[in-house]
């Protein structure tokens, strides 16, 4: 047998056995990896909508929701709305929704976060999944000080302010901007507003169906 053929065969054998080994390990770790993925999602949901016990992914018309949100002034290129989880209590009643939104206009690009909204439209919490803003400035968005401002407020729309913030009303609530990171603040506020609009769309549709 020519030497190069033998070399090639051995290399092939090594590659194939590597592939098989990988396939095996892939199968073995498949269950725990899927479990971690689910646990991560559960934890993200619990962080923003603690009053629910179980969370199930809601099947909704994403395109229609996006056009509804666009109709209200936030385009898909500004904020994309991802998966929506429906939170249910122990009795199986819906207590609220966890909406994943990704505003793309942060200083460092996309910021992905979840917004929990209770049935009556009150924001129950905001939690960041991934963020790549400037440390010390935009990264302050991922602190309880900033995110806490959204919690337990029932309003139609959030806006940011650089001065003393006023009392929130049904129509409008103000959020203190992060100093030195207005772009990040704007992106975050826009993302929460998109989640509120998505919630409007979801609940509005249910009402009309009844």
Determine if 26 is a binding residue for other proteins (CB under 8 A): yes
Determine if 15 is a binding residue for other proteins (CB under 8 A). Answer: yes
Tell me, residue by residue from 93 to 112, as one string, x for binding to other proteins by CB under 8 A and - for no binding: --------------xx----
Rule CB under 8 A: is residue 56 a binding residue for other proteins? no
Q: Which single residue is written with the structure tokens 């020519």?
A: 2
What distance, in Å, lies between the first and last C-alpha atoms of the chain?
78
Q: Beta-strand (E) ranges in the chain? A: 54-57, 79-88, 94-103, 112-118, 122-130, 153-154, 157-161, 172-176
Q: Which is nearer to other proteins, 14 or 172 (CB)?
A: 14
Distance (Å) of CA 169 to CA 146, 165, 182, 191, 192: 19, 12, 23, 19, 16
Cβ distance to other proteins smaller for residue 6 or 162: 6
Binding mask 180-199 for other proteins (x = CB under 8 A): ---x----------------
CA angle 210, 57, 198 (to 5 degrees): 60
| Subset of residues 128 to 167 that bind other proteins, contact rule: CB under 8 A | 134-137
Question: Does 18 help bind other proteins (rule: CB under 8 A)?
Answer: yes
21, 50, 93, 172: which one binds other proteins (CB under 8 A): 21
Using CB under 8 A as the binding rule, whether residue 75 contacts other proteins is answered as no
Interaction of residue 33 with other proteins, rule CB under 8 A: yes
Query: Among candidates 168, 178, 186, 113, which has minimal Cα distance to 146?
Result: 178
Q: SS in 3 state form for 113-129?
A: EEEEEECCCEEEEEEEE
Q: 194, 74 in Cβ contact below 8 A? A: yes
Rounded to a whole number of angstroms, the CA Rg of the chain reads 23
Q: How far is the CB of 136 from other proteins (least distance, A)?
A: 3
Residue 38, interface with other proteins (CB under 8 A)?
A: no
Distance CA 66, CA 74 (A): 9
- Measured from the CB of residue 109, what is the shortest distance to other proteins in angstroms? 8
The binder of other proteins chosen from 38, 40, 54, 204 (CB under 8 A): 40
Q: Which residues bind other proteins (CB under 8 A)?
A: 3-4, 6-8, 10-11, 14-15, 18-19, 21-22, 25-26, 29, 32-33, 36, 40, 107-108, 134-137, 183
């Amino acid at each position: 047998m020519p030497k190069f053929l033998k070399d090639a065969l051995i290399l092939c054998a090594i590659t194939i056995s590597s592939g098989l080994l990988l396939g095996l390990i892939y199968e073995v770790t498949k269950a725990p990896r899927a479990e971690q993925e689910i646990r991560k999602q559960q934890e993200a949901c619990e962080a923003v909508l603690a009053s629910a016990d179980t969370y199930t992914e809601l099947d909704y018309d994403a395109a229609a929701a996006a056009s509804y949100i666009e109709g209200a002034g936030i385009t898909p290129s500004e904020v994309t709305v991802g998966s929506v989880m429906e939170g249910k209590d122990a009795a199986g009643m819906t207590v609220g929704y966890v909406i994943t939104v990704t505003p793309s206009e942060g200083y460092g690009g996309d910021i992905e976060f979840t917004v929990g909204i209770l049935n009556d439209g009150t924001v129950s919490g905001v939690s960041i999944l991934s963020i790549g803003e400037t440390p010390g400035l935009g990264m302050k968005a991922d602190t309880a000080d900033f995110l806490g401002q959204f919690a337990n407020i029932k309003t139609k729309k959030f806006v940011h302010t650089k001065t003393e913030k006023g009392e929130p009303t049904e129509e409008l609530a103000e959020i203190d901007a992060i100093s030195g990171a207005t772009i990040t603040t704007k992106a975050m506020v826009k993302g929460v507003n998109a989640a509120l609009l998505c919630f409007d769309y979801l609940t509005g549709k249910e009402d009309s169906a009844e």
